[in-house]
Copies of this chain bind each other. A is one copy, B any other.
Amino acid sequence: MRFIKFGVCELEALKVPIFSKITIIGVGLVGGSLALAARASGVVSKIIGVGRNSENLKQALDMGAIDGFETDAAAGVSGSDLVVLAGPVGMFNKIAVEIRPHLKAGCLVTDVGSVKGDLVLKLESIMPEGVSFIGGHPIAGGSSSGAAFARADLFEGARFILTPTTQTPRDELSRLQEFWGRLGSRVSLMDPYEHDKVFAAVSHLPHLVAYCLVNTVADRDEVIRNAGRGFLDTTRIASSPPDIWCDIFSMNKNNVLYSLSRFEEALSDLKALIECSDFESLKSELTKAKEARDRLADS
């Protein structure tokens, strides 16, 4: 944990909670990691988990991630200072409507979903008087799901994007920035619509491509059993949950289709170079890709 680098006084100062009680709706890999990280960093006093799966919630309780849980979202948000929507992004609208009457005045609602855009404005509009919604997206996660895979250091050093709007109160935004910063995230701000364009290209498209690469060989046993490291790396994210990714492709449909078209054009260009055996031009294209990829930090 990051506190190891601070002295005792600074550590105590940092341990001052930013929110007294928080409720995390959806205690999976991301929600569970948020609970562990929030507890370890002392940014909250009490953590309530909400979900439909009691077994998963009990596991989160046993792990010490949460202090208690509810299977009813309305009951779970009662008296909370911060509510985090951490389940499938396709459920956020429904949940927001459900919890609306039960949010206390001054409560801040946020999320950790992969789609922003219209959804942020919609959730913002659902909030009652005195309650703000601010969209958030951690650039962290994994293809495993469930509280069992939660890690207190999931957000350590990872980027976190907040997507404020013209309606967002600046003091609430500052609190949320401080909250994620204290969990070790590198927080930056982005327009919700710009967010969806960027992540269609850099995340949603690669997921669609990975699923498709697997399906190209899935029904050919004599082919897929020869898969080596390259195939495994390239298709790792095809193990991601289909229901969550269908929601994302649905909710960011236009940007995903745009990115997909760009990709299809680029692939068609490479195909044309191979067809006419222009391997010098192909080498230039591959070199451009290699140089861009080599520039990205990796682990």
Interface residues of chain A, those whose CB is within 8 Å of chain B, are: 139-142, 158-159, 161, 198-199, 201-203, 205-218, 220, 222-224, 226-243, 245-246, 249-250, 253, 256-257, 259-260, 262-264, 266-268, 270-271, 274-275, 277, 279, 282-283, 285-290, 292-294, 296, 298-299
Contacts and interface: CB of A to CB of B under 8 A. Distances in A.
Contacts of A294: 239
A79 B256 CA distance: 60
A142 B216 contact: no
A203 B231 contact: yes
Contacts of A139: 226, 228-229
A226 B211 contact: no
Contacts of A249: 274, 279, 282
> Most chain-B Cβ atoms within 10 A of its Cβ — which of A208, A216, A238, A299?
A216
A253 to B, nearest CB: 6
Given A267-B209, A267-B264, A238 B290 contact: yes
A277 to B, nearest CB: 7
A77 to B, nearest CB: 29
Nearest to A262: B216
A134 B161 CA distance: 55
A97 to B, nearest CB: 21
Contacts of A208: 267, 270
A274 B205 CA distance: 12
25 contacts: A139-B229, A140-B229, A161-B226, A198-B226, A202-B227, A203-B226, A210-B230, A211-B285, A211-B289, A212-B263, A212-B267, A212-B289, A214-B290, A216-B259, A217-B292, A230-B237, A235-B293, A238-B286, A239-B294, A242-B286, A246-B279, A250-B279, A260-B274, A264-B268, A264-B271
Contact of A215 (B214, B215, B275, B289): B289
A292 B202 contact: no
Contacts of A232: 296, 298-299
B212 A266 contact: yes
A223 B201 contact: yes
A253 B274 contact: yes
Contact of A199 (B201, B220, B226, B266): B226
A90 B234 CA distance: 25
B237 A234 contact: yes
Contacts of A210: 230, 234, 289
B212 A270 contact: yes
B287 A242 contact: yes
